[in-house]
Structure 1
């Protein structure tokens, strides 16, 4: 499967990114994938390759590019409980510096890049994200209603994104430790009011970060459920 590191022009410089796409057929629907707060690293490249194997051009930007190319923070191969405090101390200032204005400016550049790739088909794309990347995915979808047909977010603070303006078909997979059933019901009322086709559910027995195989939070069963939900969403929303 072809993969490459690319440079995306943005108003603030050049964002490095990882791209994976099928080696036959095409053009393919585009998918913008936002990493969790630990950033672009091997597990995200692996997930991009997995998704690309289902017939998509997947772009994973280093949204911390203003602070340097990935890896911006030197991460251990496995981010266990002992390593987390030191890692969080390094990544939290980067997350806090990534303002909504920066998110939306960068999102426009990422979408322009996808549209310009010869391997990417015409028409709208999908956006998916994990943890804070899910927040970025929702903000990208809300700000680009004509360009984003589907959005998915996993173990993400979706409510903070203001999904009221959402027009894209959506799936939100919540960690059991992140949201109460009452808060989920309130969020789903907001989503119902948008009138868009959506699913929003708690993945049973999960904690925050359940899709990430390089952390203690990882749940193989929840990752499989995530793929089932994500692939069904993309199949319904994107032109093949």
Structure 2
């Protein structure tokens, strides 16, 4: 069950969609919350489908628009990178939506779960740009976030001063990193740097390499690593 929201933040109002479980998944144990951090294409049908699948497993899932500061845009798909104007708009919004902005926004996102009477630790998951946001959130709100996952996240251990690996020692929850083998935004040296930071920080973590997969794999690959499937030619629906 989906409900559209307007979330007040320190910088304005973010659109978001909230997905509740239905049927048997809505009964029994206390509900847990998950924030799904979008990729650079923004909220769209494929991400809503991912959110609904999580909700059908018994979670309350929040899918916020991280680019809300720019007003109306899109809709975009993986194919939008082939259009010069769309690509320029996407990259501008990506560059100008900092980790710090999303970190601050996450406080308001967590308040949504309080209003929905969602109890216990919250999970965060992100795709592409959202992967870094998930790790940053897990560090910034370590007492609230019990698990974080990144799928083909870019620049998780880069040279920028806000790179998530620098915050690894603040993370208390469990961490999963799904890495596309063919991904210039997260090369092997960054993977090694992140692994070392998580190990030194005492973080319970897994970094899993999806052999033969390219950035954007999450929209097309199976849910377990594969050594037989070829790398997708495009960015996929989960980029």
- TM-score category, normalised to shorter length: 0.7 to 0.9
Q: Does 1:125 align with 2:122?
A: yes
The offset of 1:191, in angstroms, is: 1.0
The 2-side partners of 1:195 and 1:86 are apart by 44
- Describe the SS at the equivalent of 1:176: strand
- Describe the SS at the equivalent of 1:167: coil
User: How do residues 17-28 of structure 1 correspond to structure 2 at under 5 angstroms?
Assistant: 17-23=16-22, 24-25=26-27, 27-28=30-31
Note the residue ranges of structure 2 that are not aligned, 5 or more in a row: 158-162, 226-239
The 1-side partners of 2:178 and 2:189 are apart by 15
Instruction: Provide the TM-score with structure 1 as the length reference.
Output: 0.81
Q: Does 1:170 align with 2:170?
A: no
Who is 2:235 aligned against? none
Aligned pair count reads 211
Who is 2:75 aligned against? 74
The 2-side partners of 1:182 and 1:163 are apart by 18
CA contact (8 A) 2:178 2:208 kept: yes
From 135, 139, 142, the equivalent of 2:139 is: 142
- Describe the SS at the equivalent of 1:195: coil
The offset of 1:81, in angstroms, is: 7.7
The offset of 1:181, in angstroms, is: 4.1
Q: Does 1:61 align with 2:64?
A: yes
The 2-side partners of 1:113 and 1:139 are apart by 19
The 1-side partners of 2:83 and 2:153 are apart by 18
Who is 1:15 aligned against? 14
- Describe the SS at the equivalent of 1:142: helix
Note the residue ranges of structure 1 that are not aligned, 5 or more in a row: 213-218, 227-240
Who is 1:187 aligned against? 194
From 190, 203, 214, the equivalent of 1:196 is: 203
CA change 1:81–1:107 in 2 (3 A) is: closer
Instruction: Provide the TM-score with structure 2 as the length reference.
Output: 0.82
Q: Does 1:32 align with 2:32?
A: no
Who is 1:220 aligned against? 221
Q: Does 1:46 align with 2:46?
A: no
The offset of 1:80, in angstroms, is: 3.0
The offset of 1:79, in angstroms, is: 2.8
- 1:15-63 CA-to-partner distances (Å, cap 9, x unmatched) read 1101111123164100000010111111100000011111100100001
Once superposed, what is the RMSD of the aligned Cα atoms? 1.9
